Amino acid sequence: MTAPFEPPPEDDFDPGEADYLPPDDEDYPPPSAYTPLNGGDEPNVEAPLSENLEAMVGKAVLKRIQKEADAIAEAKWAEILTPELYARLEAAAAARLLAQLEISLANPEPEPEPEQPAEPELVFGSVEEFVRERIAPVYRREVIEGTSRNWCTQWWKHAEAISRLEALWRAWERLRLDPSTGMSVWWRDHADHHMAQLFDPEGTFKACSVRSGHAGGDFAIVPLPTEPAPSSMFPDMRLSPESAPTAASPHKEGNN
């Protein structure tokens, strides 16, 4: 026979247990604040995606949407493109092409002008550099002792020398580009001719010598005497190009 239930004696009751209260919810962070490190079973936890990953996902979604849209459009196009509609589209395209062709024939595009080759870069920057670096060391002649050649170390004080030497420089810069006969032509037709005129004892360096130096430049030799011609005989071509002398001009009369 089972003994009847009897409550514990009052001496065995712990009054401290009555003071226990469960902790408030605010003492613990909400479940969404936890991020499982090993793929836990938290049902509402979402790990944030990086910007690069979000961009990749977005592009993939758009690509898939575009693919589906293309498939739908292709299917619908096949449904509505009847033979009659295709014929109308073909006729419209042919008419547009013909109109464009007529415009092109009526207003042809001008042929592009051939590109001009760029000017070659100068080897020497000035006639002075050309004389110092090319003429002096290459065109060597005895001009100091026992020679009839005249030379002025200050050649740049002689107008004729400047003109002739600059002509030599310009011709050399042009003819050097011809690898076959360019230099031969320069020596024969330019260098030998102009240098012989400069060395001439009766030339522009007549009063100069290497030992004595420059002797007055152009003033050492009297300029060629001239007398002014009638103004009507030689009109200024810069002011009136149309008034160029003809066969019946006074030029011929003045020579008689």
- pLDDT tens digits for 136-173? 999 999 999 888 899 999 999 999 999 999 999 999 99
167 found inside a domain: yes
Q: Are residues 143 and 92 in the same domain?
A: no
Domain boundary among 60, 83, 100: 100
Q: Give the pLDDT score at 173.
A: 97
Q: Are residues 169 and 207 in the same domain?
A: yes
Q: Are residues 131 and 191 in the same domain?
A: yes
20 found inside a domain: no
Would you say 134 and 170 are in contact if contact means Cβ atoms under 8 Å apart?
Answer: no
155 found inside a domain: yes
120 found inside a domain: no
Q: Give the pLDDT score at 113.
A: 84
**The token pair that represents 79 in the structure block:** 């449904």
Q: Give the pLDDT score at 163.
A: 97
216 found inside a domain: yes
189 found inside a domain: yes
64 found inside a domain: yes
pLDDT < 50 stretches in the chain = 33-34, 247-256
Which range marks the domain in which residue 83 is found? 51-100
How many domains does the chain contain in total?
A: 2
Would you say 131 and 167 are in contact if contact means Cβ atoms under 8 Å apart?
Answer: no
Q: Give the pLDDT score at 9.
A: 58
Q: Give the pLDDT score at 248.
A: 46
Q: Are residues 213 and 133 in the same domain?
A: yes
Q: Are residues 169 and 208 in the same domain?
A: yes
233 found inside a domain: no
